[in-house]
């Protein structure tokens, strides 16, 4: 038996998307054997940047336990095996107002449980939106935690802010780490770093040359921005630099939006600019759109570029993104787990695993 004798963890990244979790885990020294996702638009991005990992393009509902074992070579009850689950979160997120579109994502954790039950890996990580924990009506998470208890896993879980794990954005997430091979396990300790600001990651001083809206960067740097309508150009020009909001033009009869007339206290961040010396807002799948949040550049008259969004997600500037269009790439970036957060989780798991080997 070759199980339980390796010096480092190996992992399967379920719902891997564009590879943020895989990349970060690899940076921590974990060998990510494969990423699984049913989105073909993620295939090239994942494979180009994570060449030591297999991309399995398959819906988890159609993937059998034996097929996964045959493709990756993993075995049951391997103490050094880590399963990662970052399932699509449309059903659980408060951003999506149409739950019907996200119904299929509701029970993906249950499908993941099927593989945990079969393989019983030494370690488990789950990353998702806070709604997975906070939703009191649904019992999907409660059922999964009860399942972990029945299989003698111990775990730590809570809502964390990625900003306390090296990520320059206010990004709250549900995080769970679990193990059946250690006597204790904890989510990595949070660290506050005042240097995690927009200014310290983007801007001309960080290699992001000044551009206008609609600029198309044909290189792999992809400093590409969406075009603004004439009215939105006027709006962003009139929006105060460094953190300004739509309040800058609320009394302009031409620019004010009908839905917001007399409603200055709702959706305050839409059509807003980021602050240079604060953390960025959560990078969503529409971060390259001026009208979808506080995604305006702090001083240039445009929304964030694709590369700026990826950088604020802590992807290295050398990370190559592929997709059929800008919307696809923005969605890949916004849906990704920030690699820096992933790396810190991985470091903590590696330390835990090494401690179990020493004690044994």
Q: Whole-model pTM?
A: 0.93
pLDDT of residue 101: 47
**Cα(236)–Cα(244) distance, integer angstroms:** 9
Residue 303 included in any domain:
no
Residue 226 lies in a domain: no
Q: What is the largest CA-CA distance in the chain?
A: 75
Given this model, what pLDDT does residue 346 score? 98
In contact, 13 and 32? CB cutoff 8 Å? yes
Question: Cα–Cα distances in Å, from 280 out to 22, 107, 241?
Answer: 23, 31, 15
pLDDT exceeds 90 at position 51 = yes
Q: Where are the alpha helices (DSSP H) in 267-319?
A: 306-312
In this prediction, residue 138 carries a pLDDT of 64
Q: Are 228 and 213 in contact (CB under 8 A)?
A: yes
- H or E stretch covering 147: helix 140-150
Percent of the chain surpassing pLDDT 90:
83
The total number of structural domains in the chain stands at 1
Greater confidence, 153 or 131? 153
pLDDT at 109 over 80: yes
Let me know if residue 124 belongs to a domain. yes
**What distance in Å separates the CA atoms of residue 271 and residue 315, rounded to the nearest whole number?**
25
DSSP class of 155: E
d(Cα 174, Cα 359) in Å, to the nearest integer? Answer: 30
Q: Give yes or no for residue 99 having a pLDDT over 80.
A: no
* In a domain? residue 37: yes
Q: What is the pLDDT of residue 334?
A: 96
Say if 304 falls within a structural domain. Answer: no
In-domain check, residue 355:
yes
**Mean pLDDT, residues 224-248 taken together:** 97
pLDDT of residue 140: 86
216 in a structural domain: no
Whether 2 shows a pLDDT value over 80: the answer reads no
Catalytic residues: 89
Residues 90, 68: Cα–Cα separation, whole Å: 26
Q: What is the pLDDT of residues 305-347, one digit of tens each?
A: 999 999 999 999 999 999 999 999 999 999 999 999 999 999 9
- For the cut 60, the answer to whether the pLDDT of residue 298 exceeds it is yes
Q: Model confidence at 285, in pLDDT bands (50, 70, 90)?
A: very high
Using only the alpha carbons of the chain, give its radius of gyration.
21
Q: Given pLDDT bands bounded at 50, 70 and 90, which one contains residue 264?
A: confident
Mean predicted lDDT score pLDDT of the chain: 92
Query: How far apart (Å, rounded) are the C-alpha atoms in residues 190 and 187?
Result: 9
Residue of higher predicted confidence among 95 and 63: 63
Give the CATH number for residue 111: 3.40.50.150
pLDDT given for residue 223 in this prediction? 98
Domain around 183: 10-192+338-359
C-alpha–C-alpha distance, residues 84 and 187, integer Å? 14
Q: Vertex 42, ends 37 and 48: CA angle to 5°?
A: 115
Which of 133-137, 157-161, 195-199, 302-306 has the lowest average pLDDT?
133-137
Residue 245 in domain: no
Does the pLDDT value for residue 148 go beyond 70? yes
pLDDT at 92: 38
pLDDT at 259 over 50: yes
pLDDT at position 268:
83
């Amino acid at each position: 038996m070759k199980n339980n004798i390796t010096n480092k963890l190996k992992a399967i990244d379920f719902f891997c998307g564009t590879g943020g979790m895989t990349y970060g885990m690899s940076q921590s020294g974990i060998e990510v054997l494969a990423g699984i996702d049913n989105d073909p638009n993620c295939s090239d991005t994942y494979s180009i940047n994570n060449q030591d990992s297999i991309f399995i393009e398959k819906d988890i509902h159609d993937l059998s336990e034996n097929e996964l074992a045959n493709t990756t070579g993993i075995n049951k009850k391997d103490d050094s095996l880590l399963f990662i689950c970052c399932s699509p979160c449309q059903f659980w997120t408060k951003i999506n107002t149409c739950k019907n579109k996200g119904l299929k994502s509701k029970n993906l954790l249950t499908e993941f449980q099927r593989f945990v039950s079969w393989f019983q890996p030494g370690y488990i990580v789950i990353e998702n939106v806070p709604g997975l924990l906070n939703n009191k009506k649904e019992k999907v998470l409660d059922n999964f935690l009860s399942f972990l208890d029945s299989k003698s896993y111990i775990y730590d879980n809570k809502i964390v802010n990625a900003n306390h794990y090296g990520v320059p954005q206010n990004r709250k997430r549900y995080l769970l780490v679990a193990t059946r091979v250690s006597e204790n396990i904890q989510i990595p300790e949070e660290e506050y770093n005042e240097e995690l600001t927009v200014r310290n990651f983007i801007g001309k001083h960080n290699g992001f040359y000044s551009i206008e809206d609609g600029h198309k960067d044909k290189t792999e740097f992809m400093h590409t921005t969406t075009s603004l309508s004439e009215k939105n150009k006027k709006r962003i020009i009139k929006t105060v630099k460094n953190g300004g909001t739509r309040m800058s033009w609320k009394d302009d009869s031409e620019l004010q939006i009908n839905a917001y007339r007399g409603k200055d206290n709702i959706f305050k961040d839409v059509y807003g600019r980021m602050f240079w010396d604060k953390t960025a807002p959560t990078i969503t799948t529409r971060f390259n759109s001026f009208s979808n949040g506080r995604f305006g550049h702090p001083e240039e008259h445009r929304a964030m570029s694709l590369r700026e969004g990826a950088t604020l997600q802590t992807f290295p500037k050398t990370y190559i993104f592929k997709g059929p269009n800008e919307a696809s790439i923005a969605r890949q970036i916004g849906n990704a787990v920030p690699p820096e957060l992933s790396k810190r989780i991985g470091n903590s798991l590696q330390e835990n695993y090494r401690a179990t080997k020493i004690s044994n």
